[in-house]
Structure 1
């Protein structure tokens, strides 16, 4: 069944419905799902997760040693895609870790459910929610992991939020060197600047990445951008 609008727009409609009618967001989501022909929102989300799997396509384009930037505006599915990549890696027999300064275990469980993943999907990768996450923490945790291990860091702009941590550019450089030397794959989720929405049209690019602190984006080997249900992988440099 084809939806009347992309998933992120349906979510936006639900939030508006919730505010206008003074009902809980979950009730508004279920009403939107019913209008699309589904029993409830979780059923709709699971169907979308099965039918639209950019993670499988993106995963085949990743190589050992890659440092991937994964960018989108809020609500466009960057974290879901990252989790999908971890699941694809698990299917291929690869281990992985989700390092997050933003999500909790409950958030991860809900996101996996929206992908249509089973109750045991979270066992496919390790979860690190430490407040100490930075490049040094990630490298220490992953040192010795097999070549081809895929890990996700959520997210780029939070890595230097603690004054004790090195500047963001230095951390990205260290992560790139570690990925190249270990043959592991690191995915860094990134915010996109609000100015992109004012420009309108197409998908964001490297010039749209929000950089409160300077970072040489050519340190990444590849970049993947999402917007309105579309996903595009771009090479940045040769690994």
Structure 2
């Protein structure tokens, strides 16, 4: 950066002197300033920086702060600032009445300087054709994160009086929500899971984990669809599946089509195609679902995209598929540290955007080596920090995945009696108790349904019709026998 730019960076000598002076004449001024200013980078003038660092040193050692002790600490630091200079600053201040306000102004100047400096450096780098543009974008994002950190560090604390008012509003809202529809967050798409969680809550990080092929994407797509239908915009960041495959799963989940019809065989009768185009294509095309399948796998790329979705569409839910494919360029070399950083940033993103973030995850092969195949928290691959950062950890367990017969098996009596074949295990639930609920997996349609919800029971639908999850039977569409001859799943 040129010397001209450095000399003209945003700053205010008068405000810096006002803050330093307030800290010199009143110990309360020190306390209030330190709540906002965390380090000397808030100051621009080199002498002011040295004086603040001397005051900060005394403060951290719980030593008295006055003209004499600060002058002594400056000498100890081999500072060029003399006693007469700190006396001159202190004489300009009558009291520390406005020190918190002045400190916030200093913080704003600090942020302005950061923006000017990193924009200048990024601009210079952008002119260099040897610099990778995607690395440049990542660098830009990291710099913006640094600015956000400065803002966060400068926030004042909130009294319990204020937090009690927030809690009271929440209790009032929850108390008015009664019965089966008592959802205080966003709907999950399954009444059983809604009863367990009251919906996924803003700021929550939900880890949905299972072995490959267990149905993680299908389960989360039901949540995506349920929110889209009530107008909640959803962002889906897919690192595993391309957008056409993902859209095929969405359609299969929202209709009674077989996934094979949508992605492999197509329709063999004109009326099937007509029904698809007339009934389902327009309806599903209007859902506020936004998909990325070509972005980088770095956490910074996902953060940038999520913030953009939030600004443009006001997304109420973010889904990432899946965790083990996400990296962090700043933590290369140690995969465990990398995953720890990624999971932490997902949690911070959920809090920042005030939305639930659902991240799919693979379980380790350790599950396969045990007689009891039900997943455990220790099966989460690569990092224990996933468990630590998550508000909810959900596992999917399907006995048929391991060729376990549930009919006549005492262990699965309750599941069979409910017409279910899948356990959704809440292995961690920060907002409630752990436990298990049952769902039904329909393999040929790659979807989960709630077996006790009459609106979900596919077996009760007339053959040849498609259920669109809006309590209506629509169209005249093919059943398995029409298309495959014997109706066997694929």
Is TM-score (shorter-chain normalized) higher than 0.5?
Answer: yes
Distance 1:187 1:79 in 2: 11
TM-score norm. by structure 2 comes to 0.34
Distance apart, 1:110 and its partner CA: 2.5
What's the counterpart of residue 3 of structure 1? none
Q: 1:188 aligns with which of 348, 359, 364?
A: 359
Pairwise mapping of residues 174-213 of structure 1 onto structure 2 (< 5 A)? Answer: 174-201=345-372, 203-211=374-382
Partner residue of 2:343? 172
Post-superposition offset of 1:70: 0.4
Structure 1 residues 136, 238: CA separation in 2 closer, same or farther (over 3 Å shift)?
farther
Name the structure where helix makes up a greater proportion of residues.
Answer: 2
Q: Cα–Cα, structure 1 residues 69 and 122, in superposed 2: closer, same or farther, change >3 Å?
A: farther
Q: 2:390 aligns with which of 194, 217, 220?
A: 220
Q: Is the 8 A contact 1:112 1:122 kept in 2?
A: no
Q: Name which of structure 1's ranges 168-177 and 114-123 shifts more when overlaid on structure 2.
A: 114-123
CA, structure 1 residues 224+216, in 2 after alignment: closer, same or farther (shift >3 Å)? closer
Q: Deviations over 1:177-224 (max 9, x none)?
A: 12113211111100011220221435313211122x664421011011
Partner of 2:424: 231
Q: Using the alignment, how far apart are the partners of 2:212 and 2:306 within structure 1?
A: 28
1:134 equivalent in structure 2: 298
Higher relative contact order, structure no. (Cα contacts within 8 Å, ≥ 6 residues apart): 1
Give the number of equivalent residue pairs. Answer: 184
Distance apart, 1:86 and its partner CA? 0.9
- Is the 1:168–1:214 contact (alpha carbons within 8 Å) kept by the matching residues of 2? no
Q: Partner of 1:56 in structure 2?
A: 190
Q: From the superposition, tell whether residues 127 and 200 of structure 1 become closer, same or farther in structure 2 (CA, over 3 Å).
A: farther
Unaligned runs of 5+ in 1: 1-53
Residue 130 of structure 1 and its aligned partner are, at CA, apart by 2.3
RMSD: 2.7
Equivalents in 1 of 2:190, 2:340: separation in Å? 30
Q: Please list every run of at least 4 consecutive aligned residues from structure 1 whose deviation after the TM superposition is greater than 6 angstroms.
A: none
Q: Please report how far the alpha carbon of residue 164 of structure 1 lies from its aligned counterpart in structure 2 after TM superposition.
A: 6.5
Map 1:1-239 onto structure 2 (within 5 A): 55-57=189-191, 58=193, 60-117=198-255, 118-119=280-281, 120-121=283-284, 123-124=286-287, 125-143=289-307, 145=310, 149-160=316-327, 167-201=338-372, 203-211=374-382, 215-228=385-398, 229-238=422-431
Residue range with higher mean Cα deviation, 59-68 or 227-236: 227-236
Deviation at 1:109, TM superposition (A): 2.5
CA distance in 2, matches of 1:90, 1:232: 25
TM-score (structure 1 length as normaliser): 0.67
Deviation at 1:101, TM superposition (A): 1.0
Q: Distance in 2 between matches of 1:165 and 1:132?
A: 16
Secondary structure of 1:115's counterpart equals: helix
CA contact (8 A) 2:387 2:393 kept: no
User: Displacement of 1:171 after TM fit?
Assistant: 1.7
CA apart distance, 1:56 = 2.1
Quote how far apart the aligned CAs of 1:91 are. 2.4
Unaligned residue ranges in structure 2 (runs of 5+): 1-187, 256-279, 333-337, 399-421, 433-490
CA distance, structure 1, for counterparts of residue 220 and residue 208 of structure 2: 8
Match of 1:35 in 2: none
Greater Rg by CA: 2
Contact 1:63 1:148 in 2 (8 A): no
Are the equivalent residues in 2 in contact too, given 1:134–1:165 (CA < 8 A)? no
If each structure's strand is expressed as a fraction of its own residues, which one has the higher value?
Answer: 1
